[in-house]
Structure 1
């Protein structure tokens, strides 16, 4: 199997995910059914299916531990790692965005967010702004941010859970007046960059769809499952940031030929075709490690 090498700096993050990003996807997809925990040997074994050597895996694990994404634990009396409580919450919130993303319509209401942070707490101000961008909010004006209404519960829950709710005021609003809302989409969000990301996703993964649609669903083998796992883990890692960059903006207000719809359709097709094979392979590897621990 062709190794997925670590992406050089300046390369395309979307087409070639970094090792630590793949490990995050691995935990998000398969560890939660096992208490959020995986043995180190299981992580190494599954990442080896992507051509990643153990040294690279251990280095990436160390990086994720320092970032507070995972914690050291014992798994069946063997060395392992578990998702941190904050990471578990983030994955739970992300499931809907990744697998069933919502898209507003031109008649939908908008969520407006404004915040005030004392000058003495600049670091919190920066954290709030970066979080709003990560969630998919657009900047209307200094101190005023906008997103589709369906982000309301997620946004309020996040800022409350992280102790930042007191800095905010949120409003639900309808667009009125004669201003061209479609034109403003390109001012509040970087639509050109977003469309480029979707275009890249399509270009990268259309051949993958051709490959797997040529393999009968009923055809089973452990080798096929391992190959599906490698392809699927990369696919998920490429896809999972896109529903955050694009929070589900109304298609009617976006440029003609907007690639988000086609990209979402492609992802869903591949998810249905290879997702179950990938899961079967991952569960087989996890079960094998659990059986070894009981011997």
Structure 2
């Protein structure tokens, strides 16, 4: 696990429900369970501040980190897609974004590509991205956050004259490869789920193990949203394996939820001057309200 990606997983899965601010010492304890050193964690946290994903407060000798609005948007966009249960019908519109970023702003161009991929956009031709999902608000926030007004244009279209919808989809997304990744996930976690069920029935699962396994589960499942655009159901292939993978993810997640939260609470420490608002029910079941 890369430190930055794991930080987003921990904030999305746990910390956002406990005031969205955490002592760096708590973060170090949590991430040490996944083989990440203290120096790597502190370095990653500093870079997250420099990149305006984190903000930091000093109280005495202690540092407390929270997500900036930019960081919250990045985290929330991914987790909404992880926990959304709504299998909606396509509204018939393509969201199309074109951009032209100067060569001297290459890093900005690369960041735009990453953000668009995370939103489910596909590259259909040079500098042109498309999505059938209603992501206008997220794109406008992206434009504001990165000051992209001079470089991008976003518009919608209900028809593509030169190509069919199927041809456009083949240009921008490789659903056969995505299905293979979902099948691999299903093969792995079906065995794990059956084993965890047996061990839970025999009271053989510790809170610590549940915290580690639930975090790994979410971290791995989140990776699909760098490749799966979360299309409306009527644009998906028949017998889409992503549907079975989602059901399996939910089953494993809920099996581990309560003991995982118990263990997280033994590691978590908020700022002493902050009144802690717990949303434990939402932390245990993030699917609540995600329809």
- TM surpasses 0.5: yes
Q: CA 1:51–1:95 in structure 2 vs 1: closer, same or farther (change >3 Å)?
A: closer
How far apart are the structure 2 equivalents of 1:120 and 1:59?
30
Please point out which of 36, 39, 44 is paired with 2:28.
Answer: 44
How far apart are the structure 2 equivalents of 1:83 and 1:288?
10
Q: CA deviation at 1:180?
A: 4.1
How far apart are the structure 2 equivalents of 1:52 and 1:143?
39
Q: CA deviation at 1:90?
A: 2.0
Please point out which of 239, 245, 251 is paired with 2:221.
Answer: 239
How far apart are the structure 1 equivalents of 2:106 and 2:24?
39
TM-score (norm: length of structure 1): 0.75
The Cα offsets for residues 24-66 of structure 1, whole Å up to 9 and x where unpaired, read as 3223322224443323332333334x3636xx14323312322
**Structure-2 residue corresponding to 1:4:** none
Contact preservation (8 Å) 2:26, 2:268: yes
Q: Which ranges in structure 1 are unaligned for 5 or more consecutive residues?
A: 1-16, 291-295
Contact preservation (8 Å) 1:22, 1:234: no
Contact preservation (8 Å) 2:133, 2:232: no
How far apart are the structure 2 equivalents of 1:19 and 1:145?
29
Matched, 1:194 2:174: no
- Tell me the C-alpha RMSD between the 2 structures: 3.3
Please point out which of 202, 225, 239 is paired with 2:207.
Answer: 225
**Structure-2 residue corresponding to 1:28:** 12
Matched, 1:266 2:264: no
How far apart are the structure 1 equivalents of 2:237 and 2:43?
43
The Cα offsets for residues 219-248 of structure 1, whole Å up to 9 and x where unpaired, read as 889x62221111011111111131342221
The Cα offsets for residues 205-229 of structure 1, whole Å up to 9 and x where unpaired, read as 2222213333558x889x6222111
Contact preservation (8 Å) 1:139, 1:145: yes
Q: CA 1:261–1:108 in structure 2 vs 1: closer, same or farther (change >3 Å)?
A: farther
Matched, 1:82 2:72: no
Instruction: Choose between structure 1 and 2 for higher RCO, CA contacts under 8 A separated by at least 6 residues.
Output: 2
Aligned length: 268
